[in-house]
Amino acid sequence: GAVVSQHPSRVICKSGTSVKIECRSLDFQATTMFWYRQFPKQSLMLMATSNEGSKATYEQGVEKDKFLINHASLTLSTLTVTSAHPEDSSFYICSADKDRAYNEQFFGPGTRLTVL
Amino acid sequence: KNEVEQSPQNLTAQEGEFITINCSYSVGISALHWLQQHPGGGIVSLFMLSSGKKKHGRLIATINIQEKHSSLHITASHPRDSAVYICAVKRGSSGDKLTFGTGTRLAVRP
């Protein structure tokens, strides 16, 4: 199956710093990638839809100035958590749409962010 | 009421048992996904269904579009099947976005 990677897998940072998370589709091109957030024992919450070469579409309640998304190429999308605070600590997961015609979507392994 | 409901929320089984996890949805969909999330957090896509039935190894997924219902079956369950199983639907009108169920936490005891 198709492979989606995320980097880093874990990150610990101090409050006030910014953290960048990368999502890569390794063996296919993805015009659309999705960023999710997951709190402990809860389901995934869609944060934004990232389209290659255009601005991301954010879900209601998600601060676009805090969660910066860049989808500069067909294989890479980045999520930058700016001025991170402890309440931003969470598990962030990306997914990539391989083939819209076949509804195939592949998930990355996730990034666990801890803000001290 | 959530658009995607899963049952049961928690399930404990003995190794070897046949397991069924159910998913009901209330909206029109173009596809339904079954996902597996292990304690480490990574998500694996098990199946994508738009009709009928699919089988992969010990896993079987079925969907009934008219009844808006899907089931995931695990035959001869094993402790390594312990994970959270998530049903997610791609709505026909929402582009590519998925709507997720709350997940079923499965523990298989040896």
**Minimal Cβ distance to B31: which of A34, A38, A103:** A103
The whole-angstrom separation of Cα A33 and Cα A44 is 15
Contacts of A81 (CB under 8 A, 6+ apart): A18, A19, A21, A66, A67, A88, A113
> Which residues are registered as beta bridge partners of A5?
A24
B95 pLDDT band, cuts 50/70/90, is low
Q: Confidence class of residue B93 from pLDDT cuts 50, 70 and 90? A: low
**Could you check whether the bond before residue B8 is cis, i.e. omega within 30 degrees of 0?**
yes
Question: What local confidence, expressed as pLDDT, does residue A100 receive?
Answer: 61
Rounded average pLDDT over B80-104: 86
Neighbours of B1 (CB within 10 A): 4
Q: What are A58's strand-pairing partners?
A: A48
Which residues in chain A land under pLDDT 70? 1, 99-103
pLDDT digits (tens, 9 = 90+) for B46-86: 999 999 999 999 999 999 999 999 999 999 999 999 999 99
pLDDT at B34 over 70: yes
Q: Do B45 and A32 touch (CB under 8 A)?
A: no
**To the nearest whole number, what is the mean pLDDT of chain B?**
92
A107 interfacial to chain B (CB closer than 8 Å): yes
Which of A42, A46, A93 shows the shortest C-beta gap to B97? A46
Three-state DSSP class for A87? Answer: helix
A53-82 per-position pLDDT tens digit: 888 999 999 999 999 999 888 899 999 999
3-state secondary structure of B98: strand
What pLDDT, on the 0 to 100 scale, is given for residue A12? 97
Query: Which of A38, A42, A105 shows the shortest C-beta gap to B98?
Result: A105
Q: How many CB atoms are closer than 10 A to CB A29?
A: 11
Entry field: residues in chain B: 110
| Chain B residues with at least one Cβ partner in A under 8 Å | 30-31, 33, 35, 40-45, 48, 50, 86, 88, 90, 95-98, 100-103
- The answer to whether the CB of A4 falls within 8 A of the CB of A106 is yes
pLDDT for the residue numbered A102: 60
User: Is pLDDT of B39 > 60?
Assistant: yes
Find the closest chain A residue to B90 by CA distance: A103
Q: Say whether residue A49 is in contact with chain B using an 8 A CB cutoff.
A: yes
Choose, out of B35, B70, B98, B102, the residue to mutate when testing the contact with A (most A CBs < 10 Å): B98
- Kindly identify which residue of chain B lies nearest to residue A39, measuring between CA atoms: B41
SS3 A101: helix
Q: Which residue of B has its CA nearest to A105?
A: B45
Query: In terms of CA atoms, which chain A residue is nearest residue B31?
Result: A103
Q: How far is B48 from chain A (nearest CA, A)?
A: 7
